[in-house]
Structure 1
């Protein structure tokens, strides 16, 4: 093995890769900061995050598979030569890590008022119909949690399969760098990554078009990343051992992201014209009244449950809501928070 592990120095490629890694951190930072600063991830499509997370994972593992020889050679090279040869791996792994951080922040900062369904209960007094939150998860929040588990399962399966193949098969000294099984798996990962990337932005484009708001999406991130995708493609394409399956995902993503950027710029101009912020709230605080966005379900209280409620107390309103929902369904106010590291995910 040591005979084939000759260091390959490419100053231009190393500088390009180093610059792109720094650029990745710089481009994703506005998005991460925006979600944290606004305290909301409203505006993201969970399908977009699922497809992006699985696509970036497949692309990352494709690079690990195709450049596994460079990883194995590190034992025979200096630290500097090893880092230089693994630049492509560091690059795509950084991109995977930073995108998945958006998914984590999306779940942590999911808007509380959108997590649970609401019912409309007639208070039988001057207050009229009242919105009562339930402990029933909204369809969108349930979908988000389910897709997060799909991402975790896909990552675990892909990592296990990749390293089982890499560690259990050895190429012939006089043969190609990868065995047919490894080459087939690398091609599968690359094609899967490209296919997922091709449709990744479709649900986000539809979602953003439907709500006609920028939401928590970061325009500065897209301004940096859209042209940066071209440099990403070039940086990966010049790496030894890579092929079109390694860079096509980033080319497709760059084009689709540019389309999303143009749409967000249009909605930004519309928001300015309507004097509303990125989440649809009037910029004039005096004009804003919280409308309790959520899944409102119009419910009629059964006749046999309409007892006298002359005092109009909150306790009576809660009692009516429980009759509608069934006594076993708790309201949001009486729910005990679950502890543990994953407590926020169970909410």
Structure 2
């Protein structure tokens, strides 16, 4: 569907469908149709719709209005008009051409003053000839061409689609009326202008044609060598896919449980000062207080109590069955000879 903002014309391009799969296999055809509307706003001579018979005045039914450079005259209206709503009155008789429908559109002012003044329009809605060649088809009959390019009768029906309700007012079989709820798509909650009415009318008309092309009666063109077909089609076995996805999720869940189980048993080692100090506990004990526990290896080495001291690991034999005591020996203070091996036993 295409809309020309300059001219206000709406255009629809028809589809060619595969009879076996109408909504899966289809292609845009070369045939297109346009809808347009021309409207004129009438000057309302009386704000209150009424008409007089003898000495009695009746509300509704008629309104006094006039076209440009003409006198005021009666314009027929429905008996019941909702304030603010757009009322579309379509002529069932041909009056503006074989593919055109005459319409009268009336919007009465609303009680809440959102729409302060009433407006009245007369429009001619036209569906133009279907354009495009028939090179997609072969051996077309006259009946085929009639269905492919439509008829004047169908065009005039489509041109007035916005007003058709299937109901004729009493004693008037030449018109049908449809009133749309105020604030709806086809009855804006504002005072409409000529441009608004023309845009609504043409958009509804082309939409009706598109809807009929999509869901209307079908005509099958026989003996065709080419029909729209789908190039590729993917058939999915959903139970198999669901089982596969479920299996993957279960495997990942089991792997996560195993990871958490083994991860809870792991030992994390780092280069913290505390671990280094515990390894050098016999050396750290030579540093007064507890400050040695927070020193790094280089800081322990450069501490005044240990600076330039040569030391070795050894043990002192326990007394009265006590475990041997691991200790360090300083050069110049303890025995210089180191042990070749440590005796088996308990050490602390």
Q: What TM-score results when the alignment is normalised by the length of structure 2?
A: 0.19
Larger radius of gyration: 2
Higher percent of residues as helix: 1
Q: Which has the higher strand share?
A: 2
> Which of structures 1 and 2 has the larger relative contact order (alpha carbons within 8 angstroms, sep 6+)?
1
